[in-house]
Structure 1
Amino acid sequence: MNGSNSLFSKRRIFLQRFVLFFFIFVPIILWTTSLFLEIAVNRTPLPENLFSDVNGTPVLLDREGKIIAQISSNEARVQMPVPITKMGQHLPKITIALEDHRYKFHNGIDFYAVFAAAYRTLTHADHLSGASTISQQTVKLANKRKGRSLKSKIRETLSALKLERVWDKEKILESYMNRLDYGNRRLGPEAAAWAYFGKSASALTLAESIFIAGLPHSPTNYNPWLRPENANSKYLRSIKRLQSLDILTTAQSERLAANPPLVHRKLPPSSAPAFVEAMLKNNNNISKNEPTLTTLDSSIQKRADDILAKQLDLLNRHSVRNAGMVVIENASGNVRAISSVSTNDGSSEESYNASLVWRQAGSTLKPFVYLLGIEERNFTASSLLPDTADSVSSKFKAYEPKNFNRKFSGPVRVRHALASSLNVPAVYALSLTGPRKSFDFTTRFGIKTHESIDDLGAGFILGNRKIRLLDLTSAYSNIARSGLVLSPVFAEETMIKPKRIVSKESATIITDILTDNEARSSSFGRHSSLHIKDHRTAVKTGTSSSYRDAWTVGYDKNHTVAVWFGNLNGRTMDGSLTIESAAPAWKEMFIYLAKSKGSQPLANSTAARIKIDSLTGLLPCKHTKRLIEEIFLSGTEPSKGSMKFYDSNGNIQLPEEYAGWCSTKDNYLSAKVRPPLTGGPRILSPSDGSIFLIDHEIPADQQRITLSSDAHQTRWKVNGRSLIDPYLTLSPGTYLIRASTKNGSSTAQITVR
């Protein structure tokens, strides 16, 4: 009896302790645990990425709204975030069913799935089973975590609990699906739907939704393009899973399994790669969430591509492999097309964008020097510039440029010098405007550079400066805009305030010169590709040394077009002239723009014109043989007559600086030098101020120059010493040369180094 009482007493004590533990300590433990859990949840930060919009890969549209490019990022080739309402009727539901079918009933942690996963892991040592909910995976994707660790798992669990308190289920699901990897670096259902089925996610069928929903389980293994059999196998397993969850009926499952969706390979469009590359390099504000409407006109772009390809085929015998074209709308600065085309032989340079490659400018920069000179009243369009063998050396020591035809034209007006693209007068004009100031002026007009005037010298105006086709087009469009400078515009509705660099009147004069087919006829003929019948257009060409670059750039009222032909590998073009390569393509584009886009010719200038002597650029006199009309800035009109350029019989007589030219076969005018006021002979050679350099490879007694004048029986003295013969043997020093006749004398001073 005592033993029974003792046993009963012990049971009673155990029961009392159990009840005490269960009703007192267990609640305390649970309360404490929940308290710590609450504190942990509150203190666990959510990923910052969750609270910013999911960045898509930028989508570029042409001006009509057609997709031309989708720009990849480091994370995705294509990512197009969309609201859950645009993910289709089926895809969100199927994603929940396959990923987390109790999603709507838990608060971020599916404890049933946790215990089930733990059991599977314990009973299958070689199998590690997961139990992450959609909320947990959303946090993981936002953190961009790779791999597994207990610490990260705990943190994501706490963050998931917190996320469920902050967002509703629909918002979490939307964020999750927009971050999912569906293979081939397509993030989000919209990108996947376009890549695999060529349609928006909102238009996916049930079968297509099931197919896509299974891909994120293993994007590489289920890649529909590389491993279609694995992707189809996953599709069938997904159907079985959906049937087991009573989402699909048996009949539906059988029908879906028998008719799997047909997967396509839809790559992002790339209809204007040169334009896209230029836009990305010139625009840092491209939206990642909304498509960007660009300024590209796809019809002009296609035409540019076709024109260049056709012209390259025609130039095959000249070994020309690459070409580029840029079209800009003058009024807005909008870039309408950028084309970069290569032949099959030039495919190795195909990755280069011809519009952005630095190439030697040829003569394309000359108009800017003349524009500066007219604007600053250094000269007018009628001013005479010397095109002679010795005119530049007196301005830029040891620099002796030649014209393209290797001839010298003597006195030429600015209009003729620019229109015919003469080299020597251009360099002489540069001496009047100042090399550094002129160099900076071209830069202000939009000609970018990574070189300096100190490196290039006066030669930059003839083409040793490297420029880009895009910048050249923009600079000429600024002249077309009458001196209002705008940077190239790539996005529609971009508002940029233009800046005036020169007066409208000066720009009008340059435009008038560049449209003058008669003035350029001596170099290009009257029927060249630079002349478009019934369509007045300003145009300039350029050819770099050794025929490596051929340029043609010009504008009408509405558009500026620039064309480049050459070899991006640096090879020469086997003698291909600009007039044969770039100019025909330029002309064909303007004919297309006029016919298809309504581009208008330039109107004739309404500025007042003054009649001048065509030879002298001054007011006419009784000996004037031909009158022409010229435009002037107010206050720069000629006030002097031309009489001093003619003798009493009407024969042409030129200033002393043309003495050397007058004695050459280039003297097509049969001109003579104006008699000096002193009555003495004119020294023709050497020119006053000349500098000679000793060549140590030549014997000293052979290094001598011939002295000549325009008079017979000239007596010569050098530094006061009379010469028997008109020859001077050179040695270092300074020499005063005097030529004398019975009528007087004249002098010239030279330096020998």
Structure 2
Amino acid sequence: MSDQLNTRQARRQAQKKKQNSNNKGKSKKQLIKKIAIATAIAIAVAIIATGITVFAIISNAPELDEEQLMLTQGALMYDQNDEFVSQLESSERRMNVSISDVPSVVQDAFIAVEDIRFRDHFGIDIRRLFGAVAANITDGFGAEGASTITQQLVKNLFLENDKLMSRKIQEQYLAIKLEQQYSKDQILEMYLNQIYLGSGVYGIELASQRYFNKTVEELSLADAALLAGIPRRPSFYDPTVNPEAAESRRNLVLSLMVQHGKITEEEAAEAEAISIEEQLDVTEREAYAYEAFYNLVLNELEEIDGITSSDIYNSGLKVYTTLDTDAQEHVETVLQTSEYIQNYPDNEDFQAAITLLDTETGQIKAVGSGREDSGQQRGFNYATEAKRQIGSTAKPLLDYGPAIEYLQWSTGHMITDEPHSYSDGTEINNFDGTFQGRMSMRRALAASRNVPAVKALQEVGTDRAKEFGEQLGMSIDTMHESYGLGAIPLSTKDLAGAYAAFGNNGTYTQPYSVRKVEFPDGRVLEFEPESQMAMSDYTAYMVTDMLKTAVTDGTGGTANISGLPMAGKTGTTNFDRDTREQYNIPANAAPDIWFAGYTTKYTAAVWTGFNQHSENNYFPSQDSSRQIAQQIFKAVVEEVSSTIETPDFTMPNSVVRVGVERSTGYYQVILRQVVRLFMNYLYVVMSRLEYQKNLSTLNLLAI
């Protein structure tokens, strides 16, 4: 009986377990089913939502305007008063050419570098798109582009240049639509006629004439590859501006043409063997009004995110600039005629450049990009694109400025001008080969003595000097002691920006020429660089006070403008020994002469020099041509200051003016006017902090 009972209970338990197991299986299946249904619903909702979103984005896409596809309008430039001054005319900068007149080698070059499957896709390159999607997933949206030639065309003409997904969807939609309405040859023809190719020209026909003095039908393989490489970064790959970069890019295009079977390796090698200098035969082009300034503006625009080359040259962009037309016209007169400067060298390689800024705002008011009668090709801007060693104009920036800022030196700080060396043992010489013994920092700067400047730099340290210079917009990778004497290369724009900070109480503003950009659709971009305190106000004033002495009683006397409170510094560079020996150049000759100066209203930096080394290209010692940089500064700043009030520099409360007894060096608190009555005293300025720190040790003398 007991055995039967146990058997029944076992059967019941087994049945119960089986039932529980079945119930669990059913529950699990039901859960999976629910998840699958929910997932399907979510996917369906996502697809519907995505479809609605894409439809909305596509609905807002602009129409394909046939007139806009065929015609272009160049940017409109306005001056500081919002007055129209110049237009980049399409008719002067573009010349349409039929695709039937474009050699296959030219078509192949552009297709190889821009869109190798152009002839096969329907406006979108799916293979390229997936590659870009992968890159965007790993590096963020917009990390890598997948734009075909068709997409580039519609983007440049009809869409904004942002990296939003909505813009990309519209671009793809319009590309497909364009492919449905036009043939591949028509699309390629539009693209080749509208693409910007540097030097202010767009379209391959005008570019062919500009760079090679040929029609597009006459272009060689090397020519085609050079042109095809430009659109990626037109100002950078412009062969008249950056031939090395242009050549490297050209060779990359040739390599791609080999890779895609458009040419043989032998043909590529033959084309690569041609130097850019051999290849170019640049033709002159008609100048725009204020072209030097316009070229500066164009370069600045190309660096702004959200603005394409097509915007600039095709869309009728309105560009509001900082241009002072009167100042610009005067600068051109000074540089291009002998009305103000009679001693320009009779040498076609001689060049001169100037950048004029508003001291307070950093706005560029005028630029002199060079002298037109030189052998150098027009279009190169010596004021902004040429970076030359700046000579002794570096001394306030990297030597004495940092010494005041970090070491609290007064202008009367004594330094001995004596035989001395850089830290690596290289001897330092003064320009006249002499040493003048113990002197004040003010005197050392005014007389442009080299040894005291290097001593100041060595005492303050290269790290702090580098920091000081970088606060003034100077790009310094590694600070060398020779930079303190001007071995660092800058443009006149860079140097003017740095000097303006001294005249603006220590505040630095990066120089700029574009105030506002207006797009045809009404969008507006406004620009005003942020200012930063580059130094203490006492440093700015004390450097200024010393540089006032440099133009009244120092090397900058030729630049001095009577009745105008101003400060400034000369700069002279040297040839290295190898160059002197190669061209038989005298030991005391100079390749570059600078002057940088400022008032409370304007700052200007002037460079004079030569566009290449030769046996005749130098400034002889004691020659009047060494004064041209100062003469240009004076001619420009005197004119622009003639109709305005220019107040003197204001001494801040952080500065104390004290007298110094010449025989002892003891300090005495006195007025500047009083000093002039007592020749046994001279004045210095020092930071109030330093004055208070040393007050107990000063021997105050009564006058």
What is the TM-score of this pair, normalised by structure 1? 0.50
Q: Which residues in structure 2 correspond to 1:232-631 (within 5 Å)?
A: 270-283=288-301, 284-285=303-304, 288-309=315-336, 310=338, 314-316=343-345, 321-342=350-371, 344=373, 346-355=374-383, 356-368=385-397, 369-389=399-419, 392-393=420-421, 396-448=423-475, 452-453=478-479, 457-492=480-515, 494-516=527-549, 521=553, 523=555, 528-545=557-574, 546-570=589-613, 571-575=617-621, 576=623, 580-596=627-643, 598=644, 600-603=646-649, 605=651, 607-614=655-662, 617-619=665-667, 626-631=680-685
For residues 233-277 of structure 1, give each alpha carbon's deviation from its aligned partner in whole angstroms, at most 9, with x where no partner exists: xxxxxxxxxxxxxxxxxxxxxxxxxxxxxxxxxx98622333233
Closer, same or farther: CA 384–489 of 1 in aligned 2, 3 Å: same
Counterpart residue type for residue 353 of structure 1? N
CA distance in 2, matches of 1:364, 1:537: 15
Q: Distance in 2 between matches of 1:388 and 1:625?
A: 27
Bigger radius of gyration, 1 or 2? 1
The residue identity in structure 2 corresponding to 1:551 is: W
Match for 2:396: what amino acid?
P
Match of 2:79 in 1: 62
> Structure 1 residues 566, 71: closer, same or farther in 2, change over 3 A?
farther
CA RMSD of aligned residues (A): 4.4
Distance in 1, Cα, partners of 2:663 & 2:555: 17
- 1:386–1:158: structure 2 CA closer, same or farther, 3 Å change rule? closer
Aligned to 1:132: none
For residues 639-677 of structure 1, give each alpha carbon's deviation from its aligned partner in whole angstroms, at most 9, with x where no partner exists: 58799xxxxxxxxxxxxxxxxxxxxxxxxxxxxxxxxxx
1:50 aligns with 2:63: yes
Contact preservation (8 Å) 1:620, 1:627: no
Matched to 1:376, the amino acid is: Y
Give how far 1:517 is off: 5.3
Once the two structures are TM-superposed, the CA of residue 573 in structure 1 deviates from its matched residue by 2.8
- Structure 2 unaligned spans of 5+: 1-54, 97-149, 158-173, 183-188, 197-216, 218-284, 517-526, 575-588, 670-677
- One-letter amino acid of the structure 2 residue matched with residue 404 of structure 1: F
Q: 1:592 to 1:75 in 2, by over 3 A?
A: closer
Note closer, same or farther for the CA distance 1:75–1:280 as it changes in structure 2 (3 Å cut).
Answer: closer
Shift of 1:431: 0.5
State the distance in 1 between where 2:610 and 2:364 align.
24
- Counterpart secondary structure, 1:452: coil
Q: Distance in 2 between matches of 1:397 and 1:186?
A: 52
**Structure 2 equivalent of residue 636 of structure 1:** 690
**Contact 1:274–1:353 (8 Å) recurs in 2:** yes
Rounded to whole Å, the distance in 2 between the matches of 1:641 and 1:365 is 34
The Cα offsets for residues 374-395 of structure 1, whole Å up to 9 and x where unpaired, read as 1112522111111011xx33x6
- 1:620 offset after TM fit, Å? 6.7
Letter in 1 for 2:427: E
By relative contact order (CA 8 Å, sep 6+), the higher-ranking structure is: 2
CA-to-aligned-CA distance 1:453-501 (integer Å, 9 cap, x gap) = 2xxx311111221111110011111221111111112123633331112
| 2:393 alignment partner, SS class | coil
Could you tell me which residue of structure 1 aligns to residue 266 of structure 2? none
Task: Report the Cα offset of residue 63 of structure 1.
Answer: 2.4
Q: Give the whole-Å Cα distance in 2 for the aligned partners of 1:141 and 1:398.
A: 60
Shift of 1:616: 5.5
Kindly indicate whether the alpha-carbon contact (under 8 Å) linking 2:408 and 2:690 is maintained by their aligned counterparts in 1.
no
- Say whether the 8 Å CA contact 1:419–1:513 is kept in structure 2: yes
Is the partner of 1:572 in helix, strand or coil?
coil
| Pair 1:379–1:305, CA change in 2 (3 A) | same
| CA distance in structure 2 between the partners assigned to 1:630 and 1:614 by the alignment | 11
User: How much does 1:58 deviate?
Assistant: 2.6
1:619/1:641 contact within 8 Å kept: no
How far residue 447 of structure 1 moved from its aligned partner, in angstroms, is 2.3
Distance 1:586 1:601, change over 3 A: farther
More helix by proportion, 1 or 2? 2
Superposition deviation, residue 186 in structure 1: 12
**Aligned mates of 1:359, 1:579 — CA distance in 2:** 16
Contact 1:318 1:574 in 2 (8 A): no
Q: Percent identical across equivalent pairs?
A: 21
| CA distances 1:142-198 after superposition (whole Å, capped 9, x unpaired) | 6999xxxxxx9x9779769xxxxxxxxxxxxxxxxxxx98x99799xxxxxxxxxxx
The code of the aligned residue for 1:68 comes to: S
Give the secondary-structure state (helix, strand or coil) at the position aligned to 2:331: helix
**Deviates further, 316-325 or 499-508:** 316-325
| Partner SS, residue 636 of structure 1 | helix
**Letter of the aligned partner of 1:499 in structure 2?**
Q
Secondary structure of 1:492 counterpart: strand
Q: 1:517 to 1:348 in 2, by over 3 A?
A: closer
Alpha-carbon contact 1:320-1:565 (below 8 Å) kept: no
Instruction: Work out the CA distance in 2 between the residues paired with 1:156 and 1:532.
Output: 63
CA apart distance, 1:409: 1.4
Which amino acid in the other structure matches residue 486 of structure 1?
T
In structure 1, the partner of 2:579 is none
Q: Distance in 2 between matches of 1:318 and 1:574?
A: 14
SS of the residue corresponding to residue 561 of structure 2 reads coil
Given residue 270 of structure 1, which amino acid in structure 2 is its aligned partner? Answer: Y
Q: Which amino acid aligns with 1:445?
A: L
Q: The residue matched to 1:580 in structure 2 has which SS?
A: helix
Indicate conservation of the 8 Å contact 2:328/2:366, yes or no.
yes
Paired with 2:155 and 2:436, the residues of 1 have a C-alpha distance of 74
What is the SS of the residue equivalent to 2:605? Answer: strand
Q: Is the 8 A contact 1:325 1:469 kept in 2?
A: yes
On the 8 A contact 2:610/2:618 being kept in 1, the answer is yes
Which one-letter code corresponds to 1:459 in the other structure?
S
Q: For residue 282 of structure 1, report the CA deviation from its aligned partner.
A: 3.0
Instruction: Give the CA deviation at 1:434.
Output: 0.8
Q: Is contact 2:343–2:625 with CA below 8 Å preserved after alignment? A: no
CA contact (8 A) 1:552 1:582 kept: yes
Contact 1:71/1:77 (8 A) holds in 2: no
> Where does residue 4 of structure 2 map in the other structure?
none
Q: TM-score by structure 2 length?
A: 0.53
Q: How far 1:539 moved relative to its partner? A: 0.7
Assess, with a 3 A threshold, how the Cα gap between structure 1 residues 632 and 268 changes in structure 2: closer, same or farther. same
